[in-house]
Amino acid sequence: MLKGTTVVVTGATSGIGRISAVELARQGAHIVFIARNEAKAAATRAAIKAAAPSARVDVHHADFTSLDAVAGVGREIASTYEHVDVLINNAGLHAFEQRITAGGFAEMVTVNYLTPWLLTNIILKKLIESAPRPDCHRRLGSITAQRQHEFPPRPIRHHALHALGFVTNIRANQAHEYHVLHGTGTSAS
């Protein structure tokens, strides 16, 4: 049972993210999910409540194509909840045509790599500082980070090249995660 556990989920309005949120709520977790589309968020919240009527479900809104929006929602979550026990980065997309965000990055790179990295880094302190409880092991999960096969195989624009360098640095930092998280009771996968 996950009673008393706060789980933050991105990409919970469809697919594996929605299935995960519903199942975790059934197991007693407090679900905090981030959604872009208000109608889909309402439908997801209703699905969670139908499966687990007593579940605590909170919705925050942000568009994952915007680093500023994700930073804002990350700070909001970090300041709102006493503890965050699990973070599941599941938001992602696969675009057949390259689009550039208002921030100047390739949309797919932004949604699949940059914003999950940003959200994780903002919430990481809350994960580590959450009081250790014998019934809970804090964990970071990143489903989108496993989608390397979706990454554009060739440079699209100058902005995409800049983002590629940023993603390379993220990947290099993952090797360093063990040392950052060692002894905190938090693990990453």
Give residue 128's pLDDT.
86
Positions of the chain with pLDDT under 70? 131-189
Using CA atoms, how far residue 79 sits from 33, 58, 82, 86, 117, in Å, is 15, 14, 8, 16, 18
> What domains are there in the chain, each with its CATH number?
6-188 (3.40.50.720)
3-state helix, strand, coil in the chain (%, to 5): 50, 15, 35
- Tell if the pTM clears 0.85, that is, is over it: no
Instruction: Provide the Cα torsion 23, 27, 28, 31; round to 10°.
Output: -20
Report the percentage of the chain scoring pLDDT > 90: 60
Q: Which pLDDT score is estimated for 180?
A: 53
- Return the pLDDT at 88: 94
